[in-house]
């Protein structure tokens, strides 16, 4: 699964870790996160994330 980076604050969503504090379990692909989820650091939506290129 691919990691995604917030283009506002550079926080990285790692699907292996998830975002447990926001109810996103480890192993959850970015595409499977609810559309109303926001960056836990700066609060922007999924539309402000882009794929981290390896």
| CATH, residue 40 | 2.20.28.10
pLDDT of residue 23: 97
Residue 31 belongs to domain spanning = 4-51
Evaluate if residue 54 carries a pLDDT over 90: no
Provide the edge-to-edge strand list for the sheet that holds 12-13: 12-13, 4-6, 49-51
CA 29 to CA 16: how far, in whole Å? 8
Domain total for the chain?
1
pLDDT of residue 7: 99
pLDDT of residue 1: 93
* Rounded alpha-carbon distances, angstroms, from residue 6 to 9, 11, 44, 46, 49: 6, 5, 8, 8, 4
Evaluate if residue 13 carries a pLDDT over 90: yes
Evaluate if residue 5 carries a pLDDT over 80: yes
pLDDT tens readout for residues 17-49: 999 999 999 999 999 999 999 999 999 999 999
């Amino acid at each position: 699964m691919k990691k995604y980076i917030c283009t506002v604050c550079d926080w990285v969503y790692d699907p292996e870790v998830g975002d447990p504090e926001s109810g996103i379990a480890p192993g959850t692909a970015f595409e499977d996160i609810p559309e109303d989820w926001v960056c836990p650091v700066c609060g922007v939506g999924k539309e402000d994330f882009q794929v981290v290129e390896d």
